[in-house]
Amino acid sequence: MIGRLNHVAIAVPDLAAAADQYRNTLGATVRAPQDEPDHGVTVVFIELPNTKIELLYPLGDNSPIKGFLDKNPSGGIHHMCFEVEDILAARDTLKAQGARVLGDGEPKIGAHGKPVLFLHPKDFNGCLIELEQV
């Protein structure tokens, strides 16, 4: 069911510093920041040859990243995103096997303009998993 690893998302306490570090210290290709008000984050994508790193920084008062950064002030790996061909079929298969989908269970439009869902970390070895339909 799962295909490519679309990205690994890292919540960071200083977006400019983190972007600068990936660009200048680690020598990666770093894109411009983009605000995602619907998701409560500003994101910076880092393009690796085979996948992406997504730097996440809170945007607005109700950002879903804020609690994570309160608990992890240095930042940390927040989630990983797997691509699926059919997100509704994937969701139904996972739910039938007891996995919990976060929110109301309906796909939202993610940072790439494609439908996404998040799976409950407690059902997946403590890892927050995003599924993105490609």
Longest dimension (CA), the chain: 46
Which residue in 37, 103, 113, 126 binds a copy of itself (CB under 8 A)?
Answer: 126
Kindly state whether residue 33 participates in binding a copy of itself, applying the rule CB under 8 A.
no
Kindly state whether residue 40 participates in binding a copy of itself, applying the rule CB under 8 A.
no
- Interface size with a copy of itself, residues (CB under 8 A): 39
The total of other beta-carbon atoms located within 10 Å of residue 1's CB is: 11
- What is the enclosing helix (H) or strand (E) of 7? strand 5-11
Instruction: Determine whether 130 is an active site residue.
Output: yes
List beta partners, residue 5.
82
Strand 41-47 with 29-30, pairing: antiparallel
Report the interface residues with a copy of itself, using CB under 8 A. 1-5, 8, 10-13, 18, 21, 25-28, 48-51, 53, 55, 72, 74-77, 80, 82, 93-94, 97, 99, 121-122, 124-127
